[in-house]
Chains A and B, each alone.
Chain A
């Protein structure tokens, strides 16, 4: 299953980054597909990006809300919040596991042999603060004299933007190298930090800092596709614990907001068929019991 998941992640990367004329145009895609929100974290200033980043779009919409209203345009980011809500209520954080390019990068980095570490539990709450503050509140509240805010998450944190857009744009347009400064180098430090951390720990950005992961995590009780524990079959052998890339102890916390429904616990961990995948409460897949208790 892990093999198929990795190939699905690669497929999504190519779908959301399908503009391969950028080496010739030296710029980004400007076609109609950019009206579609990419499900995962994928910077829309990436030269190859063919869809827009939902987190970037929400910030851009909110930071200019005063100017829009002054011009008689009532933009409230309902289209974007609606699109993210539709995805969240169907898939929840399954998108993190299957359709996020930056999640895939972290999965691959973690395969590099090294000593591995866990993540302190309190870090999972940081991403909710990042979502609330840098995506919604600060772009809306802190504005300049023209009434224009800043995209706080993109500007100061997002390592995906540095990797997918900042560095490629510097290569495509070398003249930009003259104007990079402290901001770029600080974002480069953030990116390098997460790359090193991803080698040492599984998906640290998803677990500690990703606002999109935090958003999808809010749907843990109302998402359609979810893994469910059959307690009558669970032997509490805890085989599902070490295999989870998000550090979820599934048999103790089957409805955990960190679960990315990668299905590893179901296919590689549980040997008693105690974990099944459900859509809207209806089981669609449960592996056969591989070994009798």
Chain B
């Protein structure tokens, strides 16, 4: 079959990097880090915003 459009090879490197960070993200969830993030985000850190 004759190709009418130029063939573009998909980049694999971004997919590899994305997979690596998906693994880290999943590991973080298994370590229960999201609950720690929530704990922190629910409190106002006054010194962090220049007050106190």
Contact = CB atoms under 8 A, between A and B. Distances in A.
B41 A179 contact: no
Contacts of B44: 27-28, 45, 165, 169
Nearest to A184: B50
Contact of B50 (A80, A82, A161, A221): A161
A61 B25 contact: no
Interface residues on A, range: 35 or more
Interface string A64-82: 0000100001111111111
A169 B28 contact: no
Nearest to A162: B50
A30 interface: yes
A86 B21 CA distance: 6
A280 interface: yes
B15 to A, nearest CB: 7
Given A61-B37, A73-B36, A82-B22, A166 B49 contact: yes
Contact of B24 (A82, A90, A282): A82
Given A78-B24, A78-B33, A81-B24, A180 B13 contact: no
Given A52-B38, A60-B40, A78-B24, 9 more contacts: A34-B37, A56-B40, A76-B31, A79-B25, A79-B29, A81-B21, A81-B28, A151-B48, A281-B9
11 contacts: A35-B41, A45-B49, A78-B25, A81-B24, A82-B26, A86-B18, A86-B22, A90-B14, A150-B47, A176-B52, A278-B8
Interface of B: 8-11, 13-15, 17-18, 20-29, 31-38, 40-42, 44-52
